[in-house]
Each structure stands twice: as structure tokens, then as C-alpha cells.
Amino acid sequence: MAEIRDFKSGRSGEPPREPAPRRLAAIVAGDIAGYSRLMQIDEEGTHNRVKRIERDLIEPSIIEHHGKLVKTTGDGFIAIFDSPVEAVRCSIVIQQNLVGRNASLPTHHWIEYRIGVNLGDVIVEVDDVYGDGVNIASRLEGIADPGQVYISGGIYEQIKHKLVCGYESLGDRKVKNITDPVRVYRVLPDPAAFHRTRKRRENVLIFLLSLTLLIIAGGVLWYMLLQPYGKVGDQASTSVSPPAEQPRAPTLPAPAVKQTAPQPPPAPAQAPAQQQAAPQPQPPPAAKQGEPLPQSASPVAPATSPKTPPASPVREPEMSTLRGGQFAMGGNEEISEKPVHQVTIKPFAIGKFPVSVREWNECAAAKACGFTASGKDEAPITNVSWSDARQYVAWLAEATRKPYRLPTEAEWEYAARGGTQTRYWWGDQFQSGMANCKNCTDIAATEQPTKVGSSKPNPFGLYDMGGGVDQWVEDCWHKNYQGAPADGSAWVESECASHVIRSGSWKNDARYARPSNRDSYDTNVRYPTHGFRVALSP
């Protein structure tokens, strides 16, 4: 049942071949509706948010759909795609994601893109494209409503039977500086929506009207009530926006709570205001546990100190040096583990245990890791993304001046096998008590994840290689070993949306604790059973 895979990323990011002067391309033009208004309200905040959207959403989406970002302007972008289908898909993904990003913000802070897609013969240069086709795409974008994707007739002809969407014809439109009128279609991401749009439009109008009235009424009430208490009103209103400008903040619930906890009751209104005063873009993940620093001075003090620690001794994870050698990697139980292939591993060292909360928190205290973990010192660190894990090893390497890194997938399996070729390192049959997996031990669920090294070590003296916590490795996810390197190096591309996790966790059954088992997860997403261990090149 486990041959379920999705290959989201595929091989992407390969540079386009020879820069042919002219080519047919699907051009996607997007820009932010009301950009100057947003800039007027909050210049820096808007700029940061737009940059973040470009970095986190637009660029990866374009790459994922095999397109190329040609350029970004202050408030927009132009991308080209070989395939009209991919171009429209990419546009829909961007629009749908933005809905989510905007959901929690007040309407006047919404960043909404208008997107136009056109098919045209264009001149492609390294950092720009030229031609009628581009102009039409940007005109389409110009007439699109915020949050909408408008496509030209040319695109429509190509995708109408391929992409399961609804399309609403808007007829021929005359656009500025283009002689012939352009046939325009509006994309409805879901086909059923087509029949509903009419009715829904009226409903939406009524809804919006009542909403506006409600908001106005609420605003008037608020204003009238708070008038005599100008100060309080100011604070309360500023405190509404910070969570909006720092959408990262809520991802770190524990420290946030810690920070507000010691304050007197009106804290929720004060703390964010304080944060805003400090010019730091990242909310302090600080509030180092047990550090006796006076809290009141902290918003400024840590800002000056982040670069100091390298001198102080750092707790290094306990390592085991492995000689390396040849082994058969993979298995026959699942498609993802095939084909079994010979791999040669060079000598290297690997952590005896997964990285613990205590070790992680030293990195957090040095402001090099994204958050301070709660939980017992001896427990493995969990809820880390691949990027988090990379931050930790980068900090450790820097602080110790040793080439610490994540293990490669081949190294991990070599280490987990401990010189054996059986289904588990102890044999072909599962034995209880050997690995911390679901229904494998008597450990109470509430105590999970338990301290590192609670099950038996394998023949290489390594603990928790199978069960315990899932462990990130350096490699990008590939759905099987077709084309995998044989020298034990990491199998990576420049950009990959998901990376490999190994070991299985306490929440997975025994099959996941097999050394050859492999799985994938989104690179930048945290999950409560995911941890990692470090490796060290000699």
C-alpha cells in the first residue's frame, strides 16, 4: 500500500538552453493592486511583505511549474513558461496562496495581485523579454480585478480542454496601444464556479455592503468609546497590526507566550507595541530560558550581541567515527527503495544520538536557530524543518570550526544498517524493545518524544537509527534510486521543494523503522515528529 508517491518537484531549475533570440512563450505578468496606496500606509512593512511573497511564493511557484522568472519590478513580476497550462496553473497557485496570506489581515493591508497571461512570440534576453506578447500580458493584467487571472484567447485555445477550470468569456477588449482587440477570458479555478458566479456576485455585493456598514458602525462605536482615552486607543490600534506585519511570529508560539506571560495583565496590547519599537524584523525568539537578564532591557540588548558567542565553548554532539566501505543500499519492499544498488561510503563521523533539545537551544541562544524549544533537555529536538536543521549545522560548524553538516542519505542508511543487510539491523523479524516505534515499546504516549538513546544501540554504537524521531538528511527527494550517485554523496539539485526524511518516528509502525525505509517532506515545513542528527567530514 505504500507505493504512494507524489513528485511535486521533478527536475526543475535547469537553465534554459541557448538563449534563442525569438521564441514562443506563455508570458505571465503580475502586479500588486493598489501598490502605491499600500506603500503610503506602511512603506517598510509593505516592502518587506512583498519581498517575502516574491521569495516564498512567486519564485518557488514559477520554478515548480517549469517557468522562468524574467524580472521583478517594484510591485510586479514577469515570468515566461514553455507551456500555457503550466503558466495558468502557476498563476492559480499564486492567487490561491495569497488568499490564505491575506485572510487574517484587515482589508486595507491586503496584498492582491492581478495576473495576465498571454501567448506570444517574444524576444528573450537574459533579464528581460520584449514584444507585443509581453505588452498584451501586462494590459490583461491591467484590466484584471485584484485576485483574478485573465488570459488571452491564444492561451484559452491551448488550455481549454486540458486544465480543469472554468473560463468566463469577457469578450473582445480594446487595450491600450494594441491595434487589434484582444479576446479576454477570466479563469475560475473551479469549473462549478462558472455557473455560480452570476448569483454569487450579487450575494458578494450585498455581503460586502453589509460588511462595510458593519465595519463603519463598529469603527464609529470604537472611536466614540475611546475618544476620551486617546492613549489607550493608540496602543490598542497599533497592536492590531504587528502580527500582520510579522506573519512568522505565530510559528513560534512557545517563546511568544513566554514573553507575554511575566507581564502585567494589559500585556497583550503592550508587548506587540514594544516589538514594533525595536527595529528588528524578526520577533525576538529570545527570552532565553532561565537567563536572569532583566526582561525590560532585552528588546535592545540582544540586538547588539548576536555575533559574540563563537569564542565560548559549544557543546558538541557525541560523535562516532565510521570507517566507511561498500554496502548495498535500498530494499525490495517498496518502489521508493528500488533498485538496490552498491554505494561506497568514505570515512565520516555521525552523531551517536539525534540532536537534543539542550544542544538545539544553545544554537537558539546564540540567535542562530529560529526558535527556543520547550521540552526536556534530553529529548530529541522536534518540529524542525530541513531548513531549521541546516541552520543548526551551519551554526555548529561555525562555532566549532569543524565541518559539521547533515548526513547524506547513503551515509544515513550505511550507519543505520550497522554492517548488516537484514530487514532490521538485528535481523529480519521485528523484536519489541529494539526501536521506539508505534506499538513497539511500553513508553507512554504522553512522554514522547523520550530522551535520546532510550532503545538499544546498533552494531556501530548508534542510537535511534530507526524509530524515535524522523531524521532529515541532506538529499533532495527522488521517488526511487534510478540515477542515484554511487559514491555516497548527497543527491541534490539547486532547488528542491522536498527533502528526504529517514528513520520513521514513534508515531509510525515498525515498517518505518527499517533502515532502507525512506520518505519525503516539504523542505520548509515543520512537523512535530521531525528531528535530525549531524555528521562530520574527517
Partner 1 sequence: MKIARLIVLSVVLTCPSFAAYPQGKPAPKDALLYFVWPQNGTTIKGGFWCRFGLRNMGVTHAGDNFKNSGHHHLLVDVNDPLEPNEPIPQDKSHLHFGAGQTEARIELPPGKHTLQLVLGDAEHYPFKPPVVSEKITVTIR
Binding residues for partner 1, per CB under 8 A?
1-8, 56-57, 60, 89, 92-93, 96-97, 99-105, 164, 189-191, 222, 225-226, 228-229, 232, 236, 239-240, 243, 247, 250-251, 253, 256-257, 260, 266, 268-269, 272, 470, 479, 497, 505, 507-508, 512, 519, 521-530
Burial category of 538 from C-beta neighbours within 10 Å (exposed 0-12, middle 13-18, buried 19 and up): exposed
CB 143 within 8 A of CB 118: no
Cell 496570506 belongs to: 101
Task: Give me the residues paired with residue 342 across strands.
Answer: 328
Chain Cα centroid distance, residue 203: 35
Q: Which is nearer to partner 1, 135 or 275 (CB)?
A: 275
Q: Which is nearer to partner 1, 86 or 474 (CB)?
A: 86
Reduced to 3 states, what is the DSSP secondary structure of residue 364?
helix
Chain Cα centroid distance, residue 12: 17
Sheet-wide strand order for 535-536: 319-322, 348-351, 535-536, 404-405
Task: Compute the least distance from the CB of residue 525 to partner 1, in Å.
Answer: 3
Q: Which is nearer to partner 1, 9 or 455 (CB)?
A: 9
CB 251 within 8 A of CB 216: no
Q: Which is nearer to partner 1, 4 or 20 (CB)?
A: 4
Cα torsion angle, 216, 222, 225, 231, sign: negative
Rounded Cα gap, residues 150 and 144, in angstroms: 6
Q: How many other CB atoms sit within 10 Å of the CB of residue 253?
A: 11
Reduced to 3 states, what is the DSSP secondary structure of residue 350?
strand
C-alpha dist (Å) from residue 209 to 112, 144, 199, 214, 348? 20, 22, 16, 9, 66
Q: Which is nearer to partner 1, 226 or 394 (CB)?
A: 226
Q: Which is nearer to partner 1, 103 or 311 (CB)?
A: 103
- The grid coordinates of residue 445 equal 504516549
Burial code of 499-529, b = ≥16 C-beta within 10 A, e = fewer?
Answer: bbbbbbbbbbebebbbbbbbbbbebeebeeb
Rounded Cα gap, residues 484 and 480, in angstroms: 8
Q: Which is nearer to partner 1, 32 or 535 (CB)?
A: 32
Q: Which is nearer to partner 1, 138 or 336 (CB)?
A: 336
Q: Which is nearer to partner 1, 334 or 362 (CB)?
A: 334
Task: Compute the least distance from the CB of residue 274 to partner 1, in Å.
Answer: 13
Q: Which is nearer to partner 1, 148 or 239 (CB)?
A: 239
Q: Which is nearer to partner 1, 63 or 122 (CB)?
A: 63
Task: Compute the least distance from the CB of residue 1 to partner 1, in Å.
Answer: 6
Task: Compute the least distance from the CB of residue 264 to partner 1, in Å.
Answer: 13
- The grid coordinates of residue 179 equal 491595434
Q: Which is nearer to partner 1, 250 or 325 (CB)?
A: 250
Task: Identify the CA nearest to 73 among candidates 24, 35, 43, 111.
Answer: 35
Cell 484590466 belongs to: 143
| DSSP H or E stretch at residue 167 | strand 166-173
Rounded Cα gap, residues 178 and 132, in angstroms: 8
Taking every pair of Cα atoms in the chain, the longest distance, rounded to a whole number of angstroms, is 79
Task: Compute the least distance from the CB of residue 46 to partner 1, in Å.
Answer: 17
Task: Compute the least distance from the CB of residue 239 to partner 1, in Å.
Answer: 7
Chain Cα centroid distance, residue 78: 23
Task: Give me the residues paired with residue 69 across strands.
Answer: 79
Rounded Cα gap, residues 181 and 175, in angstroms: 7
Give all strands (DSSP E) within 422-490, no chain letters. 470-476
- The grid coordinates of residue 241 equal 497590526
Q: Which is nearer to partner 1, 385 or 458 (CB)?
A: 385
Q: How many residues does the chain have?
A: 538
